[in-house]
Structure 1
């Protein structure tokens, strides 16, 4: 589904503007008070920047960073092995990842509260391993969604949340949204993993994909024993079984460029010669099926990007987040 920018989100932005006027009239007397008499900050109350680890229980620490002021809070969920800093970087002309004020994290922090974090086993640019406490691997979306909930609670990050999931972060965001519908205000999937990839490939073709993933895991564990590892089959099974995402504004962004040579370098030696092309057709179809899961979702397919849309076309991701925040009443 390829909805135009003037579709559902435009109507929701209008509704959000009306709600915003109402909210401003209610709040004009200053801070509201809850029934217990405790002061409840308004969305304009200054919120301090944070960047540190938090105790999430069980002897574990997880790293979180937040900046900006406003509501809903945007929660950026990185892809596999990627840490919080992936949202603060852009791809420069040489193809390197560099910190930038035009990256997603600082740009979103200019109009609402935004947070990103390190899952266990992730690594930052420059091969700096995360301070988040290691856990057994491979990981699963259900476990990572539970960790995200524990972290947001420990850090007292106020909801509701607009969840932004890139790559493997997409399944984590979706499982969190399905299990915490009252805390979810919107969803943005940035080339998120789609369970429909499996059905778009034959069993033999999917087996090649699983073997490629296992090779990826082996290369990473050779560098870091505690590195994050994925099991795509388990991930897809959990997505099929997960509660549906609530009826909130959704934008799906899909990569539209593909480097078959770089992909081929990751494949098992006996993979069919045309496998990169077979995979790319399945990937595009799986993104279409993913977007159709969400009623009224906007599917942006012209991204001028590969898999790392948030680094290659950060303004596109920022605009999508801004639209969802506005539609959610921010």
Structure 2
């Protein structure tokens, strides 16, 4: 739909057309003869008036010229929509969202996490290595935390506030059963918005037990569809637990780790910290967002160019056809 930024200019069309018609039929003889008879008295002697159809041609061109000029003054435009690509490094703040990769750590705090492995109790070892991991990863990575047992025990939304996450980690205690559905669903909700903007997001899933709810496997399809890999860490050496966590990693494009000691768990988290760092570096250079914007497309310049063409054509008819200069 065509709009006008200065619609009042359209009011000029009719008066200008009337003036052009008047000057064409009445004014040209008075003005032309009065102006030039002083220089050449014989100018009033017109042997042969211009042919009627030729005068009509110039009249139509004058009317067209007047209309085009009035339209250009009215500044016609159309509103168009387009999708633009936005660099995460330069313009992301305009979208009120930080283009930072997101990592959510889901840690099992069920009763079995109070058991001992070489190096200490599982829960205490896990807390120590998770704290180290959080401090080690780049600051341009957002972090979230979910502590789960038979339900969600603690939850910290994805944030850049590392201290907030660390405080929750420090107060974790081991008690309760093990359910995978709740933490996986909660983590998916936290990471989905990042993937909507094509921002990298991963889940680190730490557990030492088998789930009491195998229905959780249906959720893995959603992770795979959104391309959110799950890196699983099974604390212990139980074959069934290793197999279950390997299934989760394989279904989502992640990787499975097994840690049967404090040293091994620290090694695993150090490797994951390196993985996250690589993702963060890649995000700085490659993450791009798109947004839909509207803009006005003006036609004034086109109309002025067309007016110039009409004016030149009018000059041609006046000077080479009718032999008049008005």
Query: TM-score when scaled to structure 1?
Result: 0.37
Which has the greater radius of gyration? Answer: 2
Query: TM-score when scaled to structure 2?
Result: 0.37
